[in-house]
Structure 1
Amino acid sequence: MYPESTPHPPVERAVEVHQPTPYPPAVPVAAPVVPVQPNAVPAVASIVLPDGRVVTGYAINPAHPEPPAAKPALSRTAVNVALGGVGFLAACGGLILLTSFIAALTAFITQLITLAAVIFGGWIAVQIFSARGHQSGTGTTVNIRKAVIKRNQFRH
């Protein structure tokens, strides 16, 4: 058709225009009704975009960061160490009191035993020395002489 040296004539192509196919509208589903406090309804804001479209929606309040927590005047470790020291001192004081009580009780029991020994020993001494000091007529006197024991017989 055309010799090779000649340029190809421009090819005209047909322009096809596609129209979007609309989807059928969705069946509206009843949304659950949530009771809202009248004071809690946020404000509705509308924004006009550069191309002329208008977007309407609820205004979102920016989240405010919480202020940093103030550091306590004393650290928890220091407070725990101090409380531990107070508890240790209270326990040591209790142990000292317990030790003193046991020592006092031991000394008291020792004194009671010593007092009982002195009283009982004195009573025995009185019994012994009073019997030798005078002879009463009610006692039996036995004089033992030489006795010969022969073949299980006592001879006098």
Structure 2
Amino acid sequence: MYPEHAPRVPAQRAVEVHQPTPYPPAVPAPAPLVPVQPNTVPTVASIVLPDGCVVTGYAVEPTRTEPVTAKPAVSRTAANVALGGVGFLAVSGGLLLLTSFIAALTAFITQLITLAAVIFGGWIAVQILGTHGHQGGGTTVNIRRAVFKRNHFHG
């Protein structure tokens, strides 16, 4: 084997071990003043930590979570929109019938007015152009009245 292809062995190094430097325990800061209701005095609790520090503070009531209400499978908004659509469809059919009824009523009233105009116009035409019981046409002259006036005939 050639020396350039020989396996290389890494050089041995000295092992160094580092130990963490311990920090001295922190002195707890004074607790902030908590406004207290005049009738209630909160209880004070002290806890000894494993390193020997004592932590003193007010006991805090655990927060109560609100019970989770079960949501309906369909939202109220979706149900209201669907009901509004059904109501609109129901009303649309009625509106269509109402429009048809109004159109038919308008045509009926128009026919009644036309019929009344024809009948009234015919009655007026009979009054104007009628003979009042006389047969024939032309102008009728009352001769007797003209004859007896001053014994002269006025035509």
Q: How does the TM-score come out when normalised to structure 1?
A: 0.51
Q: Which residue does 1:94 correspond to in 2? A: 95
| One-letter identity of the residue aligned with 2:135 | G
Give the secondary structure class of the aligned counterpart of 2:47: strand
* 1:57 pairs with 2:57: yes
May I ask how many residue pairs the two structures share in their alignment?
107
Q: Match of 1:43, as an amino acid?
A: T
Partner amino acid for 1:68?
V
Q: Which residue of 1 aligns with 2:43?
A: 43
* 1-structure distance, mates of 2:52, 2:75: 60
SS at match of 1:119: helix
The CA RMSD measured in Å over matched residues stands at 3.3
For residues 112-132 of structure 1, what are the alpha-carbon distances to aligned partners after superposition, in whole Å with 9 as ceiling and x for unaligned?
122211221233145334177
Structure 2 residue aligned with 1:26? none
**1:38-95 CA distance string (max 9 Å, x none):** 34x5432111223433211122333333322222365432342122211331243134
Specify which of 131, 136, 154 is matched with residue 140 of structure 2: 136
CA distance in 2, matches of 1:83, 1:96: 20
Query: Using a 3 Å threshold, how does the CA distance of structure 1 residues 51 and 87 change in structure 2: closer, same or farther?
Result: same
SS at match of 1:133: coil
For residues 5-47 of structure 1, give each alpha carbon's deviation from its aligned partner in whole angstroms, at most 9, with x where no partner exists.
Answer: xxxxxxxxxxxxxxxxxxxxxxxxxx999573534x5432111
Q: Which moved more, 1:79-88 or 1:64-73?
A: 64-73
Distance of aligned partners of 1:43 and 1:133 in 2 relative to their CA distance in 1, 3 Å threshold: farther
Cα distance in 2 for partners of 1:83, 1:119 equals 52
**Which structure would you say has the larger RCO, counting Cα contacts within 8 Å and 6 or more residues apart?**
2
Distance 2:34 2:59 in 1: 21
Letter in 2 for 1:115: A
Gaps of 5+ in 1: 1-30, 139-156
Find the aligned partners of 1:89 and 1:37 in 2 and give their Cα distance. Answer: 64
Q: Percent identity?
A: 33
CA distance in 1, matches of 2:69, 2:34: 39
Answering whether residue 69 of structure 2 is matched by residue 69 of structure 1, we say yes
1:105 and 1:92 mapped to 2: Cα distance? 20
What residue ranges of structure 2 are gaps of 5+ in the alignment?
A: 1-31, 143-155
